[in-house]
Amino acid sequence: MDEMKGLRKRIECIMQTPEEGKGVLHGVLYAASGVYGAGIGLRNAGFRAGVLPVKSLPCRVISIGNITAGGTGKTPMAIYMARQMQQMGYRPAVLSRGYKGGAEKTGAVVSDGRSLFSDSRAAGDEPFLMACRLGGVPVLVGANRYQSGMRAVTEFDPDMIILDDAFQHRQLHRDLDLVLIDAQRGIGSGHLLPRGMLREPVSGLSRADAVVLTRSEKEQDGPDIPDLPDRPVFRAGHVPYLAGLYDSAHYPELHVSALEQSAGFECLEGRRMFAFSGIAQNREFRGMLENRVGGLCGFAGFSDHYFYTERDLQDIADRAQSCGAGYLVTTEKDFMRIAGRLPGTLPLAVVGVEMAFVSPEEEQRFLGFVRRKLAGKVSEA
């Protein structure tokens, strides 16, 4: 197990390094990225030539995606866009692949906008989170987005479909393509997977209608991305909030639909906390907690989409007790996988993230662009 963790860390380090190194592992990753790149190139050429078909749904479609592997805030952005579409008068539904969920291949309705029909193991943690957060918005999962989309149209009659993590899912036509790039990381080393973090060459950004730089600061310099003179670029940040604070006596009764945004982080300041997460940005989550409330006496990080076993959860509870923690802290996404299963006697704090543009003016600029694009008008940012 330790050897596997060590290998993973070495690979992650290489993926973030633009310079070519020596050694077998460097060579293997570089060769693999060449094979991957050739496959991506052939696939994109097939779509450009019309050899690979693109299907259309009988309603508007917005795609939210990225060009790099790892977290860029797609789920918070999908939630934000669904709520904005509601405010604009649309009837949206959200489609997600349901990555690592039991219904990924078969497809499923996670929520009809009122009731939940799947748990996180079937739906995947991110679609389940969206279903819990989005009132009045159906959420469906399935690798075949067209099939899921037609099911949504038939059963719920939406006039707007929001595709979560679909920039590379070119089989389905979209009216608006939004690409998110982490302003802290940019495009990484500039290499394709698995040598780097790129899912496809940066030239693929030419398909995007707009780029949103997430985890942005108002005065921050942009990341290393190519110039897109005819594509607007917007800046947005990830704003954490305390989604729930629970006493251990209520652990067995906890259900994710009970989560409600609570007060700020003030109630945690000065407390000794043991935090854990299994997301793409564990390091950022830990740093955010340390900056906002301090007091971390321990942290356990797991791989993205990690499903916690009973042994994992008991180990977390034991480690927290042994280091003198007064609270356990995890992410809202992780809570999707552990609700009702966490042992121990410590209270649990659940932290969520919302997408927020860096200023009201920036948000209005973005929403104006979206309105004009959906109206079929040429947009200028």
DSSP codes, 264-280: -GGGGTT--EEEEE-ST
Summarize pLDDT for 283-293 with one digit per residue, the tens: 999 999 998 88
In a domain, 10, yes or no: no
Q: Which residue has the higher pLDDT, 364 or 224?
A: 364
Structural domain tally of the chain? 2
Provide the CB-side half-sphere exposure for 104 (13 A, CA).
11
Q: Is 79 in the same domain as 222?
A: yes
Of 163, 198, 231, which residue constitutes the final position of a domain?
Answer: 231
Q: Is 174 in the same domain as 261?
A: no
Q: Is 122 in the same domain as 197?
A: yes
Is the model's pLDDT at 278 over the cut of 80?
A: yes
- Band of pLDDT at residue 257, cut at 50, 70 and 90: very low
In a domain, 380, yes or no: no
In a domain, 381, yes or no: no
End-to-end, the C-alpha distance of the chain in Å comes to 50
CB 87 within 8 A of CB 182: no
In a domain, 29, yes or no: no
Is the model's pLDDT at 193 over the cut of 50?
A: yes
In a domain, 46, yes or no: no
Name the strand (E) or helix (H) holding 94: strand 92-96
Is the model's pLDDT at 305 over the cut of 70?
A: yes
Is the model's pLDDT at 236 over the cut of 70?
A: yes
In a domain, 25, yes or no: no
In a domain, 137, yes or no: yes
Of 198, 214, 231, which residue constitutes the final position of a domain?
Answer: 231
- Band of pLDDT at residue 377, cut at 50, 70 and 90: low
Q: Which residue has the higher pLDDT, 290 or 222?
A: 290
Question: Is the full-model pTM beyond 0.85?
Answer: yes
Q: Is 300 in the same domain as 347?
A: yes
Q: Is 269 in the same domain as 179?
A: no
Instruction: Compute the mean pLDDT over every residue in the chain, rounded to the nearest whole number.
Output: 88
CB 39 within 8 A of CB 168: no
Q: Is 185 in the same domain as 65?
A: yes
Q: In terms of C-beta density within 10 A (0-12 exposed, 13-18 middle, 19 or more buried), how is residue 164 classed?
A: buried
- Band of pLDDT at residue 301, cut at 50, 70 and 90: very high
Q: Is 227 in the same domain as 242?
A: no
φ, ψ of residue 369 in degrees (nearest 5): -60, -45
Treating both helix axes as pointing N-terminal to C-terminal, what angle do 2-15 and 24-49 enclose, rounded to 10 degrees? 60
In a domain, 212, yes or no: yes
- Band of pLDDT at residue 263, cut at 50, 70 and 90: low
Is the model's pLDDT at 259 over the cut of 70?
A: no
Of 187, 215, 231, which residue constitutes the final position of a domain?
Answer: 231
Q: What's the domain range around 279?
A: 238-356
Summarize pLDDT for 57-109 with one digit per residue, the tens: 999 999 999 999 988 999 999 999 999 999 999 999 999 999 989 999 999 99
Q: Is 66 in the same domain as 204?
A: yes
- Band of pLDDT at residue 167, cut at 50, 70 and 90: very high
